[in-house]
Amino acid sequence: MKRMWIHLSALVGFGAVAGLVGQAVAQVPGAAPAAAAPKPSTGRVSVFNVAKVMKDYKRWQYFAKVMNDKRTVASGDLVKLRNTIAELQNKIPTEPIKAKQEEIARSVTEFQRQFEDKEKQYRKSLDEESAGYLRNLFAEIQQCVKAIVEANGYDIVMAYPDAITTEELNSPLYYDLKLRPPAAMPFYVSPNVDMTGVLIDTLNQNFPPPAAAAAVPGAAAPAPGVPPAAPKP
């Protein structure tokens, strides 16, 4: 029987997962806080395809496009500088006046320094911004995974990278990944325990992309309301 998942369509902010899915512990006035009884282990394990999550998570798609656009702009600026340097270098051998040759050579040196400084500046800025988006992506996935685990009664969730297209399935890199997997990567994943789709739905419902992403073709808005919890098998 295919597993029925409890979807979470409304996490109230980044810090509200524990309040949403946890149970309150009664306190006796004047006494030390009562310790919550540990929950019994279910021994249940779930997995999700992290490659597919990153591909289908619309908020991540938006920020990936933002970074790609910025890299394109930076690359264009560097190409212009590189072309200017090449043009000046080509002028030196054809310039008959020695003083002008030296002047052009000094200009080449100055533009080369500008190129190196800009390249270093762009790399540092883009790398730092990308790292920030990755940190946020991890925090959002971690929050949604925790809520899904609490709602569905799982003890362990493992992330695994796997092919998501027919082209990838036929790639030699796919077989290399399967035969030389990283630590804790499942060799076979049953769809009955795969929470990838549920995680993508939860991420897209709770962390929508900025309004500008609404114009992206094919970007579907999350369905309003809270889906009813399906009974566990």
Q: What is the pLDDT of residues 151-196, one digit of tens each?
A: 888 888 888 888 899 999 999 988 888 888 777 667 666 777 888 9
Domain extents for the chain? 43-215
Q: Are 58 and 221 in contact (CB under 8 A)?
A: no
Mean pLDDT (whole number) for 96-100: 92
Give the separation between CA 132 and CA 99, rounded to whole angstroms. Answer: 50
What is the token pair recorded at 218? 């094919």
Query: How far apart, in Å, do the first and last CA atoms of the chain sit?
Result: 8
Q: What is the pLDDT of residue 103?
A: 95
Question: 78 vs 222, which has greater pLDDT?
Answer: 78
What is the token pair recorded at 146? 């925790």
Q: What is the pLDDT of residue 185?
A: 65
Q: What is the pLDDT of residue 37?
A: 53
pLDDT at 5 over 90: no
Give the separation between CA 21 and CA 56, rounded to whole angstroms. Answer: 25
Mean pLDDT (whole number) for 11-17: 41
Helix, strand, coil % over all residues of the chain, rounded to 5: 55, 5, 40
For residue 55, what are the contacts with CB-CB under 8 A and spacing of at least 6?
Answer: 61, 164
Cα 216 to Cα 67, 154, 224, distances in angstroms: 16, 35, 20
Mean pLDDT (whole number) for 3-27: 43
Mean pLDDT (whole number) for 68-94: 95
Give the separation between CA 197 and CA 53, rounded to whole angstroms. Answer: 8
Read off the pTM: 0.68
